[in-house]
Amino acid sequence: MNTANNMNKKTVQKGLLPYLFIIIIMLGIFYFAGVMNNKVNVLTYNEFVDKLEKGKIKELEVTARGSAYTYEVRGSLEGYKKNETFFAKLPLSEQVMKKIVKASDNEEFKLTAKADPESSSFLAIVVNVLPFLIIIGIAFFFFSRQMAGNKSSLDFGKSKAKLNSDGKKKTFKDVAGLKEEKEEVAELIDFLKKPKKFQKLGARIPKGVLLVGPPGTGKTLLAKAVAGEANVPFYFISGSDFVELFVGVGASRVRDMFKQAKRNAPCLIFIDEIDAVGRQRGTGLGGGHDEREQTLNQLLTEMDGFGENEGIIIIAATNRPDVLDPALLRPGRFDRQVTVSLPDVKGREEILKVHAKNKKFADGLTLKHLAKRTPGFSGADLENLLNEAALLAVRRNKEVITMSEIDEATDRVLMGPAKTSHKYSDNDRKLVAYHEAGHAVIGLKLARANDVQKVTIIPRGAAGGYNMMVPSEEKLCSTKSDLLEEVTGLLGGRTAEEITFGEITTGAHNDFEKATKIVRSMVTEYGMSDLGPLQFEQQEGSVFLGRDYNKSQHFSNEVANEIDMEMRKIINSCHDKATEIIKKNKDLLKLIAETLLEYETLTKEQIDYLVEHGKMPEEDGDNYESMSITKLKEIAKEKRIKNYSKMTKAEILKELDK
């Protein structure tokens, strides 16, 4: 609040400055206009004496100028106008002063005597020295402002690496999961603590360790934990901080960074997103970026420049190791790579425990169960999931986080917020319901298919509804049967539309995209077709195009035709299988679809109960979210909510929360 007030005051002051400047100019104009209107008549000594003797003087002011040996007299004469005065210089003598005093006594005009201003030492200093001080002060003010504005230019070549000196050191206790990764970097801690133990046997500790993995998996946290465990200075910098417009600046910053590190050895340097500066040299349509390449060359030289046991270890992180320069990865530089993968179910549970320390959960909600529901989530995703759930609980005025908030938060992380204000026709809702029910039926009836965790017809993102399915168990690799059943599950939505309505829609667009990608990989990369165990395509491309824009193809046009035929054969067989399952389970399809139209969202527990008993479990009178839309409309009617009959379930829930 104080900051906002200060900003407002500064804004008001800046707004008043132009008006103040205009007022000063206007006052100056009026002053000089008045001065210009004044008429001053200059009299000689004889003319002044003549007027004095004739008694023409009405008012007189005398100033003695000792340094000039003169009197300066000013005044007015009879017959002068209001703004008319005279001025005269008289000899500095006693005789002249006697004449003036005598005339004043006789004529009784007003006589004023002023001291010589030059006789005052203080005034002389003010008049002679003050202007120079003002000029010097103004010059110093503008010079200091210019220096403050260009302060960074003086440190242009200095390293931007920051020393982590906030006192909040991370340790391995703060890093959940990553058991193998922590073991891999543990010897770095021993070296930083006890380097002599390694020197005795002539062992060479890696100068650089490259942490590779998807975003949000904890690469930066792991590097901080290494420095915290070793209790050594931790310098951190981003790869983009080295690269500037001017050639040579980045190289200068690299030199300065290593200079600081050598003064504070043993220490650890962490370079985040090293691919910003470490990309392959000599690539690109128009040649390389000279500044970036010079920076990389300096980094390579510096890493070779310090000895094996100087106590400096560099840890870098990237999620694009494929674009790094080979010279950066050779032995003696970043000669060790540690892959930081997405956590498994046990790792996710440990990560959730770390982020759940200050949160309150409802009875029966276990982190182990939540970890099983979130395959493919990174550590950052899990932290965001719990935070979103906590925010939702606060908005709903709840004391604890329930499974309802967890489900909604999961949907938000994966698909974005629900579009509750979008109005869909009854026909569209029915189409979406049967489409999603088709996916659910395939998932329930295929042994190798993923478990159905949630089905909803509430639109999120670009999807009109979605079916959340997770693997029954996490696998290192997939079999051909696994992939075929996954493709069959993706085709379940379109198949349900065809069987139920005899019509197809554009709703299966994303399903086809995923299915086609899986089938093409089966044929061209995994060797899972009648073409045999051959790899016809592989992911690669030019570095300057990002590597993923094209694939190298090693086959003829005839083989390309055979690939298309194999893909079509696999897709058609999966579609036939999906059709067979849907036709055999029409009643289950209708039951799930009609229930979706009534409840809009079904969880795994509700789906299992529905399949087993043919109906939904009894509704909890206190949990509005688990109720059907028919029941909610009855409650809305009792509470006299206006236009409840035209509201969606989400809109009724919002009104009931009020």
Per-residue model confidence (pLDDT) at position 126: 61
Confidence of residue 567 (pLDDT cuts 50, 70, 90): very high
d(CA 266, CA 72): 83
Mean of pLDDT over the chain: 76
Per-residue model confidence (pLDDT) at position 573: 94
Percent of the chain whose predicted confidence (pLDDT) is above 90: 9
H or E element in which residue 309 lies: none
d(CA 187, CA 183): 8
Distance of CA 194 to the CA centre of its chain: 39
Per-residue model confidence (pLDDT) at position 287: 47
> Which of 282, 296, 287 lies closest to 250 in space, CA to CA?
296
Per-residue model confidence (pLDDT) at position 264: 78
**Structural contact between residues 317 and 273, judged by C-beta atoms closer than 8 angstroms:** yes
Q: What is the pLDDT of residues 125-180, one digit of tens each?
A: 665 666 767 777 776 666 666 555 454 444 545 655 556 655 567 788 888 888 88
Burial of 365 from C-beta contacts in 10 A (0-12 / 13-18 / 19+): middle
Q: Contacts from 190-194 at CB under 8 Å and sequence distance 24+? A: 191/313, 192/230, 192/232, 192/266, 192/268, 192/311, 192/313, 193/230, 193/231
Q: Which two tokens stand for residue 603?
A: 């969880």
Q: How many helices (H) and strands (E) does the chain have?
A: 23, 16
**Structural contact between residues 518 and 487, judged by C-beta atoms closer than 8 angstroms:** yes
> Which of 343, 263, 335, 242 lies closest to 306 in space, CA to CA?
263
Residue 603: phi, psi to the nearest 5?
-90, 175
Residue 551: phi, psi to the nearest 5?
-125, 145
Distance of CA 5 to the CA centre of its chain: 26
> Which of 232, 233, 254 lies closest to 243 in space, CA to CA?
254
> Which of 409, 413, 354, 417 lies closest to 381 in space, CA to CA?
413
Per-residue model confidence (pLDDT) at position 543: 44
CA distances (Å), 219 to each of 4, 43, 355, 459, in order? 37, 94, 17, 35
Residue 502: phi, psi to the nearest 5?
65, 20
Q: Contacts from 531-537 at CB under 8 Å and sequence distance 24+? A: 531/559, 531/562, 531/563, 531/566, 536/563
> Which of 408, 164, 209, 414 lies closest to 313 in space, CA to CA?
209
3-state secondary structure of 370: helix
d(CA 290, CA 116): 73
d(CA 409, CA 406): 5
Residue with tokens 């002539």: 202
Per-residue model confidence (pLDDT) at position 233: 81
561 or 192, higher pLDDT: 561
Per-residue model confidence (pLDDT) at position 371: 85
Does 288 score more than 60 pLDDT? no
Distance of CA 166 to the CA centre of its chain: 21
**Structural contact between residues 213 and 340, judged by C-beta atoms closer than 8 angstroms:** yes
Q: What is the pLDDT of residues 326-376, one digit of tens each?
A: 888 888 788 788 888 888 888 888 888 888 888 888 888 888 888 888 888
Q: What is the pLDDT of residues 448-464, one digit of tens each?
A: 666 777 888 877 766 77
The residues that are catalytic are: 436
Q: What is the mean pLDDT of residues 569-595?
A: 92
Does 465 score more than 80 pLDDT? no
Task: Please tell me whether the overall predicted TM-score, pTM, comes out greater than 0.75 for this model.
Answer: no
Q: What is the mean pLDDT of residues 588-615?
A: 85
Strands 57-65 and 110-114: parallel
What is the amino acid identity at position 22?
I
**Structural contact between residues 536 and 524, judged by C-beta atoms closer than 8 angstroms:** yes
What is the amino acid identity at position 268?
L
Q: Contacts from 415-419 at CB under 8 Å and sequence distance 24+? A: 415/460, 415/461, 415/463, 415/466, 416/460, 416/461, 417/460, 418/458, 418/459, 418/460, 418/650, 419/458, 419/459, 419/460
Q: Which range (413-427, 431-445, 537-551) has the least confidence?
A: 537-551
**Structural contact between residues 351 and 177, judged by C-beta atoms closer than 8 angstroms:** yes
Q: What is the mean pLDDT of residues 621-636?
A: 69
Q: What is the pLDDT of residues 86-140, one digit of tens each?
A: 878 777 677 777 777 777 767 667 777 766 655 555 555 665 666 767 777 776 6
Per-residue model confidence (pLDDT) at position 124: 55
Q: What is the pLDDT of residues 24-78, one digit of tens each?
A: 666 656 555 554 556 777 788 778 777 777 777 877 777 776 555 677 778 887 7
CA distances (Å), 263 to each of 163, 233, 312, in order? 13, 11, 10
Confidence of residue 272 (pLDDT cuts 50, 70, 90): confident
d(CA 574, CA 582): 12
Helix axes 492-501 and 509-524, enclosed angle (nearest 10): 130
Distance of CA 46 to the CA centre of its chain: 87
